[in-house]
Structure 1
Amino acid sequence: MTKRVYRFKEGNAEMKEILGGKGANLAEMTRLGLPVPDGFTISTEACMDYLNNGQAFTSELKKEIETYLEQLELSSGKSFDDPENIMLLSVRSGAKFSMPGMMDTVLNLGLNDENVKHLATITQDESFAYDCYRRLLQMFGDVVFGIDTSHFEGYLDFYKQKHSVLVDSDLTAEQLKEIVTEYKRIYLEIKKLEFPQDPREQLFAAVEAVFSSWNNERAKIYRQLHRIPDNLGTAVNIQLMVFGNSGNQSGTGVAFTRNPSTGENKLFGEYLINAQGEDVVAGIRTPLPIANLKEAMPEVYQQFVEMSELLEKHYRDMQDIEFTIENKKLYLLQTRNGKRTAHSAFKIAVDLVEEGLKTKEEGIMSLDPQSVNQLLHPVFVEEALKEADLVSKAGLPASPGSATGRICFDAATAKEWVDRGEKVVLVRQETSPEDIGGMVVSEAIVTSRGGMTSHAAVVARGMGTCCVAGCSELEIDEFLKVVKYPNGTLTEGDVISVDGTNGDIYVGHVELTLSEKNEYFEQIMAWSKEFARLEIRMNAETENDIKTGIAFDANGIGLARTEHMFFAPERLIEMRRFILSDSTLARKEALETILEYQIEDFKTIFSTTQEKAVVVRLLDPPLHEFVPSKQADVERVAKEMDIRYEVLQQRINELHEINPMLGHRGCRLAITYPELYLMQAEAIIRSAISLQREMKLDVNPEIMIPLVGMTGELTILKEKINQHIQHILEEEKATIAYTLGTMIELPRACLIADELVKDADFFSFGTNDLTQMTYGFSRDDAAKYINQYITDGILPVDPFQTIDEEGVGELIRIAVKKARTIKPKMKIGVCGELGGDPESIAFFDKLGLDYVSCSPYRVPVAYIAAAQSAIQSK
């Protein structure tokens, strides 16, 4: 028979897979000789067996639990049936990964109408005994019977108010008996069932309830947020009860070995006298600082300090410890690596390395790379958030940070209000290039449509502006200038607060606190660069973005998106002249003007990056993205271009595409309009020549052709571009060492990589489009259904945020193998959004890619992730 139950003394800290985090740590503390109430753990495997087999106990598991229950009775000298030594148990969940508060717990199990009297006799404290019984009735009713806890809490509040009792511990024994009687009546009224009097029946029912709580809604959501697999299950820890509610010499609390907010190396925590664990969590009574215990119970406090230090040194990390004091005797109920803010995480990691408790590698591995976002962006003050009214939690956390401002529904209003000193949040159904002026000046951006790689999301991340995208709960009426949400309506000018790190939106102003780099951040970054194998580049084209990336020590630019250079009004009008004019001369003149703009653009980029690598992607989006869509805008552009409205509208209609992402874009534009790419290539080379002469800069641009899917596309364009560049170099009597590569973003390109590589100096995977094309998902519309796919288990994660190793990842693997079979030293990188995702970075590192590129504010995230991957592969 497969073993499914383990005594604490049979386990150790390495058995988290089987015993869960709590069970493994209880076993480890037992092994260390610490005062842990005895017990046993039912394994995570038993949980998954139960859930996968119709939620029924097997006879083998039931028999094994009964065997271990008998052993516990023998070793403790207690029993459910012994009136002189009653055994009461706690039943607690405990998954491999900490999921605080997500699953269920039952305390004081074993009490019934008879045993409560025995407990009162044994302890000579009737109030204590009936307090334990009413707690069991409430928890058992909630966890096992599914009775809403408000039925119990509501009656308790009513009873205390009626009898002028302020706190639970002031209730008399007679009063508690009355409450117990009412609680049992609630069972009958709501469930038409009596509270079970058999302790063993209680135990099995509680175990089943804890198993089932693995699949409750809050646990599922928590796992999705933290990417915890659904197939792990939870262990169940059965442990002898110790009583913090047995008088004023007893208590319960939680403490951290260091401050989880600041990282200060000082014991930090709280406790309550005469209370059980849920009292601390519930917040009904105000707990006392752990330091107060030094005066109240000096010996217990000193013992706790010594045990805390022992546990931190043993686990070599800051610990979160739950404890109970029963009549001045200290018991430890749990220890785990404590959750902490990003600020404290970096300080604690560096301190532990400097104290000799961790190596540099272990210090890096202890960090969550994504937590860097909290360090580099403003965040809301936690206490202020508790008071804030929620608009929605349904949005996508498209770009991290927090901001507050007045709602604006269009770019013009946003710019106008900012000019007069207001802070604004741009709120739109979705954004387009027309909105860039408003996006640049906004504190935050909110859209009701679009996904993590939508226009709003990508542009916001590039700018370091917080953004919540695809918030489908919002009904945004840009004409009437109102936003309807589940609990109300907002109008233009109303203040909202936006949390782009979590995807949350609040009504009104929420206090912000600035997050800045500090010495601990700098130290972690230095260590990360020391261990990382991958180069980390940035996706950037504006001077501010480039400077941000350089401040984070990016190795260069992995993606400069030239289409972003055309959105300024004076450039947009020239681009529109080229696209919309039917005059060859007008189009030529427009291109000549754009060429001058582009030369200055690239001079700015190359002079800012100095001699760092720069990959310039030639024009990628469909031409219709540059043309106006609304009637008022069409009328204005017609006037600017001196074209009749009807003629202009007809040309715009001709450019319209049913599915533009699969349409006339990328290299297809250059096949039909080769002058566009030749103009851009000329601007790149002329700017490099200019800087070579003016600043003695040795610029080696990497020119990238997007959306190639056939060898002919690359061959033809490479030949035309090379010829044009050679003509310029001969004309200028100059030498520029440029390279010409392609962006791999089509499945077909992956499959013919061994052919494409013959005409390419480098490859860069555009993971946004590659994911879109592989799945057939529109990246701008997937938000409408992708969360449901994740909820239903169809997808483990959003493939636009984390690499799909089986599909998209396999295509990348094939392409890399084919390319390097022909050119073993071929430079290959990633420039899509997955280049900033830690899990994806680990995958790219294992494939042996040369670099990943991401938005400037994600460069530190990428460095830590790359270092962690390199450390793990050693």
Structure 2
Amino acid sequence: MKAVKLTSKYLFNEIPDDEEKIDKFGHKACKISLAKKWQFVVPETVFLSGGLVKEIFEKKNIPSEILSHLKNKLIAVRPSPVADQFKKNGSFLYIGLDDQSFDTLKHSVGVKSALKIYLSFLRMFALTVYNLDLENCDELKELLESLKTSEQVFVESSLCKISRIKQLISLETGSDFPKNTSEQLIEVINSIYKKWISPTQRILRDVSGRKSDELIPVFLQEMHFGLKNKPVEYFKVKNFDERTGKLGFQYFRSHNRIEKSFFDLVSEEEVGSAPKVNKLQNLIESLTKKVKSPLEVSFLVEEDTLLLIGLKEIALPQKAFIEFVVSSVQEKIIEKEEGLLLINPEYLDIFLHPSVSEEIKPRAALLGVPASPGAASGKVAMSTNKVIEYNSTETDAILIKSETISDDINAMSLSQGVLTVKGGMTSHAAVIARGMGIPCIVGVRNVVFKEHEKIIMLEDGNIISEGDDVTIDGSTGAIYLEKVKLRPPEITGTFNTLLKWADEFCDIQIRANADTVEEAKVALFYEVDGIGLCRTEHMFTDSNRINLVRQMILTTSNEERGSIIEKLLPIQKEDFIELFKEMSNLPVTIRLLDPPLHEFLPNSQQEIQKTAKIMAVTQQQLSDRIKDLSEFNPMLGTRGVRLGVMVPEIYDMQVQAIFLAAIEVFKKYQIVVNPEIMIPLISANKEVELVRDSIEKVFLQLNEDSSVDLKYKLGVMVETPRAALRAGDIAQSCDFLSFGTNDLTQMTYGLSRDDSNRFMREYLEKELFSSDPFKTIDVEGVGELLKIAVQRARNTNSKIVTGLCGEHGGDPSSISFCRSVGFEYISCSPYRVPIARLAAAQSRIRNAN
């Protein structure tokens, strides 16, 4: 029968395509309707909208057209929530069964089968509609047992006993047992709706992001029973292996040929004849091609006819889902492009980092902002010394701080994970942890951190003390006050196959933000196209170097500063040599020193005392000097290119180290290095010209003295709105523009990236922001600046290369935007490279479609 739209409240057999069809008729109903449209055999079906279900509940009346359509039929009532994750209510079966229809039924399927169905109906109706367990009533129990006798006895007494069971149910409930289809259907819908509007279900919808007053649609299906000698068989078939997730067939058969009973796993041979199995497999393959998802398909077999009665998409664990998609592509069930689009790039984290085992579901004590993926367990350490102490005894540590600074990098590298009470997605802890590939959670709210007492007080009265066992999940932001079983990461053939496919469609370079050889090795393992950002300040944080840097900053003597810089030169040179060797001929973009100087200065009394001794000055003199150098807003103070202007010797030393390293790598290893030097925090072209002239002076001198034909590229990091607006001027003085969207977002919004977590959740909940702008590029504001900058830069320099090196480089939505703007590359944390490769491929495929 074709779909007839008698009213928008109910439809027969098919639901017309409509933007609101799922909201009106629910997820399961729309799936059944699709199966019908795809020419699969489906029982006669009536779809009831959520609005009609509410109306039936309130008015206790079923539209006559529906009753007429279902006349003389037994029906199944199946709830169809709008969101598929709600599975509170199962199906209600055999609605319409009474003494008259029972008499018809027993002639079709035999007395014993009819009795079994009638008893099943009475049990189900009593339990699900009236919340009455028949086994708890002695007389009812006795009657049920007596009905399990021979067919001859049943013919004589069954109707009397069934009548008595109905009487007893009526006595227990205080109302007459419904006599016909209309009355039974009203009772069932009444039961479904009452459960749906219960406080528990409302809360579940609320926490799942659904409307608490959302309605519950249902659909009604004609039931089939077969013949006496050929009863129907109920099957469920899954199109995946439950253990691995890979494409395959698993068959389950009802052990007593009743739909709502236990299903046993059976082999192909137990399913039946080869033609029957082939018919089943063809059906499932066809559905998989259509739905492109792991499925559980419920159907009945009546003689030689397969009738589809249920179609459910199964949400597999991330790794198993990827296995399903890749195997489906390999078996040519799903096209390669379709398969790539099915996988959320974030799912790849499961291959790259440890994760909380899916076998257990521990209760999270706290939630923070998930800033670097993966999970880790260990003992709480609230200082660098404590981390070192744990490390010396091979005890895993979780570093917990109010916020981290440069001094904490060593402790972070020795820790299994990092948690900071303050901060956001682009705070110091978040950025460094992502580069290191360790889990990190920032911005933990509703706690009191007493750093001197080494405790954190939770809202519920619990206390986290130094030395306690904790587990953090940087993928979800969950914090557990215990050691939790973790699943180790595992790079598999499936992972490599998926990325190989992605590379066939990826048309933008994927580079990595890498400051050390270790990070460069990780990036190369994930087949990166180069280094898009090497932050040289991180090379100075080692305990053997930090004191030299502090002396360089704190001294008032130019002569002494020059002497210290000379000591730093060979250190920087060796860093670059190792990096260039590792990256071979791939591009390496080196950002000259950028952060405010206060990040390098000692801040604890112990560190001040130690530095004063090294510098041969008093603690008071050093404290006064630190005070002189302090700024009200250091992130907008003496940092970036301003350092190169104020203390040009620093940039000269770094540039010299870069060129000397490139020359030596060529001479010793025959590796041609064409370094890319980047000037940070530019606002005007005059700044570029000033630094460019200094770089060129160093370059000409070294190139003249060496036998190597050295080349380099000069670029700027566009981080200020003014630089974006003046990109046309700036592009005339450089070879590339790299957009630092962390600072650009911060300055465009006038929003501190380290403090935004205080109100970000409220802004997102109240839909003031559609997403966290430090996680996903704000297309309307920051994105507009990027478009303007790229267009103006290309108007004045057609050869200019553009890229992005902020943390947005690892965000799938932001990558898609970068492609649309026309960037040649994006750069992200090494462990985000696989995610970026897949996201870039998906973006191209979507655009092509």
TM-score, scaled to structure 1: 0.80
Is 1:256 equivalent to 2:250 in the alignment? Answer: no
1:489 shift after superposition:
2.6
1:564 to 535, 538, 551: 538
Q: Which residue of 1 aligns with 2:34?
A: 28
After TM superposition, the structure 1 = structure 2 runs for residues 222-301 of structure 1, keeping only pairs within 5 Å, are 222=208, 236-240=217-221, 256-259=238-241, 261-268=243-250, 290-291=265-266
Q: Which residue of 2 aligns with 1:368?
A: 344
1:550 to 524, 533, 536: 524
Unpaired runs of at least 5, structure 2: 106-113, 148-161, 176-181, 226-230
CA offsets, 1:815-869, max 9 Å, x none?
1111122223321011111111111111111222101111111111111111111
The question of whether the paired residues in 2 share the 8 Å contact of 1:369 and 1:862 is answered with: yes
Q: Which residue of 2 aligns with 1:450?
A: 423
1:120 shift after superposition:
9.2
For 1:259, the aligned partner's letter is D
Measure the CA separation in 2 of the matches of 1:859 and 1:335: 37
After TM superposition, the structure 1 = structure 2 runs for residues 701-712 of structure 1, keeping only pairs within 5 Å, are 701-712=675-686
The question of whether the paired residues in 2 share the 8 Å contact of 1:453 and 1:779 is answered with: yes
Q: Which residue of 2 aligns with 1:344?
A: 320
The question of whether the paired residues in 1 share the 8 Å contact of 2:15 and 2:21 is answered with: no
The question of whether the paired residues in 1 share the 8 Å contact of 2:652 and 2:698 is answered with: yes
SS at match of 1:531: coil
Q: Which residue of 1 aligns with 2:623?
A: 649
1:333 shift after superposition:
4.5
CA offsets, 1:461-520, max 9 Å, x none?
111111222222444333222333355333222222222222222233322332222222
1:77 to 63, 71, 76: 71
The question of whether the paired residues in 1 share the 8 Å contact of 2:93 and 2:121 is answered with: no
Is 1:90 equivalent to 2:75 in the alignment? Answer: no
Is 1:753 equivalent to 2:740 in the alignment? Answer: no
Measure the CA separation in 1 of the matches of 2:776 and 2:6: 36
The question of whether the paired residues in 2 share the 8 Å contact of 1:534 and 1:851 is answered with: yes
1:294 shift after superposition:
7.6
Residue 391 to residue 300, structure 1, CA distance change in 2 (3 Å): farther
1:117 shift after superposition:
9.7
1:23 shift after superposition:
3.8
Q: Which residue of 1 aligns with 2:109?
A: none
1:261 shift after superposition:
4.9
Q: Which residue of 1 aligns with 2:178?
A: none
Measure the CA separation in 2 of the matches of 1:648 and 1:530: 58
The question of whether the paired residues in 1 share the 8 Å contact of 2:294 and 2:324 is answered with: no
For 1:771, the aligned partner's letter is T
The question of whether the paired residues in 1 share the 8 Å contact of 2:736 and 2:800 is answered with: yes
For 2:31, the aligned partner's letter is N
The question of whether the paired residues in 1 share the 8 Å contact of 2:70 and 2:222 is answered with: no
The question of whether the paired residues in 2 share the 8 Å contact of 1:86 and 1:118 is answered with: no
The question of whether the paired residues in 2 share the 8 Å contact of 1:836 and 1:854 is answered with: yes
Measure the CA separation in 1 of the matches of 2:506 and 2:268: 46
For 1:344, the aligned partner's letter is A
CA offsets, 1:510-558, max 9 Å, x none?
2233222222222221221121100100000111110111011100000
The question of whether the paired residues in 2 share the 8 Å contact of 1:577 and 1:590 is answered with: yes
SS at match of 2:534: strand
Is 1:834 equivalent to 2:828 in the alignment? Answer: no
CA offsets, 1:351-387, max 9 Å, x none?
223322233322322222111110111223211x23x
1:786 shift after superposition:
1.0
Which has the higher mean CA deviation after the structures are superposed, 848-857 or 404-413?
404-413
The question of whether the paired residues in 2 share the 8 Å contact of 1:258 and 1:264 is answered with: yes
SS at match of 2:240: coil
Which has the higher mean CA deviation after the structures are superposed, 398-407 or 698-707?
398-407
Q: CA RMSD in A?
A: 4.5
Q: Which residue of 1 aligns with 2:179?
A: none
Measure the CA separation in 1 of the matches of 2:809 and 2:167: 62
SS at match of 1:238: strand
2:452 to 470, 479, 489: 479
Q: Which residue of 1 aligns with 2:789?
A: 815
TM-score, scaled to structure 2: 0.82
The question of whether the paired residues in 1 share the 8 Å contact of 2:246 and 2:327 is answered with: no
Residue 561 to residue 203, structure 1, CA distance change in 2 (3 Å): same
Measure the CA separation in 2 of the matches of 1:461 and 1:873: 30
2:435 to 454, 459, 462: 462
Is 1:518 equivalent to 2:492 in the alignment? Answer: yes
The question of whether the paired residues in 2 share the 8 Å contact of 1:116 and 1:129 is answered with: no
2:378 to 397, 405, 409: 405
The question of whether the paired residues in 2 share the 8 Å contact of 1:131 and 1:176 is answered with: no
1:809 shift after superposition:
1.3
The question of whether the paired residues in 1 share the 8 Å contact of 2:253 and 2:266 is answered with: no
Which has the higher mean CA deviation after the structures are superposed, 335-344 or 645-654?
335-344
Residue 38 to residue 707, structure 1, CA distance change in 2 (3 Å): farther
Residue 836 to residue 377, structure 1, CA distance change in 2 (3 Å): same
Q: Which residue of 2 aligns with 1:283?
A: none
Q: Which residue of 2 aligns with 1:604?
A: 578
Residue 198 to residue 126, structure 1, CA distance change in 2 (3 Å): closer
Measure the CA separation in 2 of the matches of 1:535 and 1:450: 30
Is 1:613 equivalent to 2:601 in the alignment? Answer: no
Q: Which residue of 2 aligns with 1:439?
A: 412
Is 1:629 equivalent to 2:629 in the alignment? Answer: no
Q: Which residue of 1 aligns with 2:156?
A: none
Q: Which residue of 2 aligns with 1:354?
A: 330
Q: Which residue of 1 aligns with 2:774?
A: 800
Which has the higher mean CA deviation after the structures are superposed, 794-803 or 548-557?
794-803
Could you say which structure has the larger radius of gyration?
2
> Identity percentage over the alignment?
30
After TM superposition, the structure 1 = structure 2 runs for residues 302-317 of structure 1, keeping only pairs within 5 Å, are 305-306=280-281, 309-315=284-290, 317=292
Measure the CA separation in 1 of the matches of 2:257 and 2:285: 26
The question of whether the paired residues in 1 share the 8 Å contact of 2:352 and 2:831 is answered with: yes
Q: Which residue of 2 aligns with 1:227?
A: none
Residue 252 to residue 397, structure 1, CA distance change in 2 (3 Å): farther
The question of whether the paired residues in 2 share the 8 Å contact of 1:599 and 1:684 is answered with: yes
Residue 810 to residue 175, structure 1, CA distance change in 2 (3 Å): farther
The question of whether the paired residues in 1 share the 8 Å contact of 2:27 and 2:81 is answered with: no
CA offsets, 1:189-226, max 9 Å, x none?
xxxxxxx98966986997899799999665565569xx
Q: Which residue of 2 aligns with 1:144?
A: none
For 1:434, the aligned partner's letter is D
Measure the CA separation in 1 of the matches of 2:613 and 2:764: 49
Measure the CA separation in 2 of the matches of 1:269 and 1:650: 78
SS at match of 1:681: helix
Measure the CA separation in 2 of the matches of 1:215 and 1:741: 57
Number of residue pairs aligned between Structure 1 and Structure 2: 799
Which has the higher mean CA deviation after the structures are superposed, 855-864 or 311-320?
311-320
